[in-house]
């Protein structure tokens, strides 16, 4: 796949502080890329600069081989789906969907053709004459998606589009958005703070931290080979255990930790968190927290001394000085 969107040396400052600090990435045509990270990491600012809603202080943005820094948002050939949906309350669903087409003087026959196709894709036909105030959150989100679909723009930018929905509806909408993206062969940049959304939807994740890129890779690489302790602690639920030992931090995922009777690491139980199909045990070892995911209901009293262990192949190692991944050094902990 060819590079469709290229971001190079992008910077944005507020009051002298870098909100986006010299980031570089490329997106292939038809790729679904998630900009992931905690609040304030620069992901929405990056999206707004790509959209043309904010001007970068340095760097360049190329779409389909052409710099778009001098282009207005309306001339960048992209669509955007906002967290707030941005629907006109006085217009019907139908009027909201075709509003942009009317503004660009698209012929009425073409408007109807695109409208009919979009509303069938997102199952809105029974609601075309309703006003936004009569819609549920999921229906409002579908209107925003339909408005994006009818634009026929090859690049779609989505800024936390599911954050206002309940858990079940978010799961349903994740599936719908991914299905639409594949069907329409859209290039999507999707901003989220939710690792589940990023891991389940994206072809590639770009994880931001304090305005910089910590790691950019396929979802499975984030899980299997995190490049820094920030990535290790951000991806996974619960996050990776990080245990200080000599000049490295040893990382091991809670699902790889087992309780044993012999030949293990002596730890003290802090709490047991029962979650239905599993129980998360939180323990302490020399000041470091070690969590283990156990099947079913497990009740271990706080203050109990138990043994845990894991296979050396499950370990990750990070420099205590740089927080970056280093070569594997198994066998540092005393499994007694």
- Give the per-residue pLDDT at 165: 81
Q: Where are the domains of the chain?
A: 3-223, 228-319
The model's pLDDT over 71-82, given as tens digits with 9 standing for 90+, comes to: 999 899 999 998
Residue linked to tokens 């205590």: 320
Average pLDDT over residues 264-289: 93
Q: Which has the higher per-residue pLDDT, 288 or 332? A: 288
Residue 173 has pLDDT above 60, yes or no: yes
Average pLDDT over residues 145-165: 90
Residues 135 and 93 sit within 8 Å (Cβ to Cβ): yes
- Give the per-residue pLDDT at 205: 98
Out of 40-44, 170-174, 244-248, 328-332, least confident range: 328-332
Residue 2 — pLDDT band, cuts 50, 70, 90?
low
The tokens for 144 are 């925003």
CATH topology of domain 3-223: Rossmann fold (3.40.50)
Residue 336 has pLDDT above 50, yes or no: no
Q: Which has the higher per-residue pLDDT, 335 or 189? A: 189
Q: What is the mean pLDDT of the chain?
A: 92
The model's pLDDT over 134-145, given as tens digits with 9 standing for 90+, comes to: 998 888 888 989
Average pLDDT over residues 45-67: 96
CATH topology of domain 228-319: OB fold (Dihydrolipoamide Acetyltransferase, E2P) (2.40.50)
What is d(CA 220, CA 293) in angstroms, rounded to the nearest whole number? 20
In whole angstroms, how far apart are CA 324 and each of 27, 217, 232?
A: 25, 16, 10
* Residue of 326, 319, 315, 324 whose CA lies nearest to 247: 319
Average pLDDT over residues 297-307: 91
What is d(CA 37, CA 209) in angstroms, rounded to the nearest whole number? 6
Q: Which has the higher per-residue pLDDT, 68 or 85? A: 68
Residue 257 has pLDDT above 60, yes or no: yes
Taking phi first (over 0 means left), then psi (-120 to 50 degrees means alpha), and beta for anything else, what does residue 106 get?
A: beta
Average pLDDT over residues 205-220: 97
């Amino acid at each position: 796949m060819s590079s469709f969107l290229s971001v190079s040396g992008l910077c944005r400052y507020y009051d002298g502080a870098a909100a986006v600090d010299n980031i570089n990435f490329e997106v292939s045509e038809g790729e679904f890329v998630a900009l992931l990270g905690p609040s304030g990491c620069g992901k929405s600012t990056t999206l707004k600069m790509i959209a043309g809603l904010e001007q970068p202080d340095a760097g360049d943005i190329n779409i389909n081989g052409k710099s778009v820094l001098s282009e207005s948002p309306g001339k960048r050939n992209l669509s955007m789906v906002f967290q707030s949906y941005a629907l006109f309350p006085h217009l019907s669903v139908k009027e909201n969907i075709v509003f942009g087409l009317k503004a660009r003087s698209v012929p009425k026959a073409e408007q109807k053709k695109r409208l009919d196709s979009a509303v069938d894709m997102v199952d809105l036909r029974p609601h075309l004459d309703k006003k936004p105030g009569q819609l549920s959150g999921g229906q409002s989100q579908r209107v925003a998606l339909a408005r994006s679909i009818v634009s026929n723009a090859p690049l779609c930018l989505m800024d936390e589009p599911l954050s206002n929905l309940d858990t079940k509806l978010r799961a349903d909408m994740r599936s719908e958005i991914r299905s639409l993206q594949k069907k329409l062969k859209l290039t999507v940049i999707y901003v989220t703070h939710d690792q589940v959304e990023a891991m389940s939807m994206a072809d590639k994740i770009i994880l931001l931290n304090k305005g910089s890129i910590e790691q950019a890779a396929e979802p499975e690489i984030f899980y299997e080979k995190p490049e820094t302790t920030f990535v290790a602690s951000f991806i996974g639920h619960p996050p990776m255990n990080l245990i200080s030992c000599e000049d490295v931090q040893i990382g091991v995922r809670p699902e790889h930790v087992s309780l044993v009777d012999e030949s293990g690491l002596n730890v003290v139980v802090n709490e047991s968190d029962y979650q239905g199909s599993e129980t998360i045990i939180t323990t302490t070892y020399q000041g470091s927290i070690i969590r283990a995911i156990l099947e079913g209901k497990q009740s271990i009293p706080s203050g109990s001394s138990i043994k845990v262990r894991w296979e050396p192949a499950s370990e990750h190692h990070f420099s205590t000085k740089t927080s970056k991944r280093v070569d594997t050094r198994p066998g540092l902990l005393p499994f007694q």
